[in-house]
A and B are shown apart, each in its own frame.
Chain A
Amino acid sequence: DAGVIQSPRHEVTEMGQEVTLRCKPISGHDYLFWYRQTMMRGLELLIYFNNNVPIDDSGMPEDRFSAKMPNASFSTLKIQPSEPRDSAVYFCASSPTTSGNTIYFGEGSWLTVV
């Protein structure tokens, strides 16, 4: 399997623009997670899905952030409008219910908002 695939790997955008990050989980995994990593706060869980349904979005910082999972093989995290403080690495991860629930991370999307 190719692993968790994220795009874009790097994005630089201007404040106020819409940003869409994409994720393809590992086939057969029924959990999908979005994390944000910054130097100040480390790794924070933003939202996670189980069988395409959002289970907990309490980590989503504010209404500017939204996430969707229209099917088992695709998810998006959208920021609109973007702000400089959103600059971070955004990781997508997936996990099966079985096999010990090991969680697998993508390579991350490095976002810079200027």
Chain B
Amino acid sequence: KQEVTQIPAALSVPEGENLVLNCSFTDSAIYNLQWFRQDPGKGLTSLLLIQSSQREQTSGRLNASLDKSSGRSTLYIAASQPGDSATYLCALRGAGGTSYGKLTFGQGTILTVHP
């Protein structure tokens, strides 16, 4: 059974800092890994998706990496802004059989960027 852990559970940083959010998983048989953002009272917004054959993806100030062999992914946020404050979740999609459609989520990292 896939287990996903996110560290830290919460993070508070001053505006302008570069920061790293961590995601670790137990089963490397994945189809892809996705990072989401969730604002209070809202649904989840997809930030980046990394296929299992890829090592990283970039979008603006965000960079996500994937190392299947070690069961780790990181989300790097450059020059953080107060608008980045949200909960960040990583999710892994299973690779085969009935696991294919399943997206297993971590518990999330609550990020607060203060001015």
Q: Report the interface size for chain B: residues with CB under 8 A from the other chain.
A: 23
Minimum Cβ distance to chain A for residue B89 (Å): 7
Instruction: Report chain A residues within 8 Å CB of B98.
Output: 55-56
| Main SS class of interface, B | strand
Q: Is the CB of A102 within 8 A of B42?
A: no
Among A103, A106, A107, the residue within 8 A (CB) of B103 is A103
The total number of A-B Cβ pairs within 8 Å is: 52
Q: Is the CB of A42 within 8 A of B49?
A: no
Minimum Cβ distance to chain A for residue B25 (Å): 14
If the complex has contacts A43-B89, A100-B32, are A91 and B101 also in contact, measured as CB distance less than 8 A? no
Instruction: Report chain B residues within 8 Å CB of A106.
Output: 43
Of residues 23 through 68 on chain A, the ones whose CB sits less than 8 Å from some CB of chain B are 31, 33, 42-43, 45, 48, 50, 55-56
Instruction: Report chain A residues within 8 Å CB of B34.
Output: 102-103
Instruction: Report chain B residues within 8 Å CB of A95.
Output: 101
Identity of the chain A residue whose Cβ is nearest the Cβ of B4 in the assembled complex: A42
Q: Report the interface size for chain A: residues with CB under 8 A from the other chain.
A: 22
Inter-chain CA distance A45–B111, complex, in Å, is 24
Q: Is the CB of A42 within 8 A of B101?
A: no
Q: Is the CB of A103 within 8 A of B43?
A: no
Of residues 80 through 108 on chain B, the ones whose CB sits less than 8 Å from some CB of chain A are 89, 91, 93, 98, 101-108
B31 on interface, CB distance cutoff 8 Å: yes
Inter-chain CA distance A106–B46, complex, in Å, is 12
A residues touching B (Cβ–Cβ < 8 Å)? 4, 31, 33, 42-43, 45, 48, 50, 55-56, 91, 93, 95, 100-108
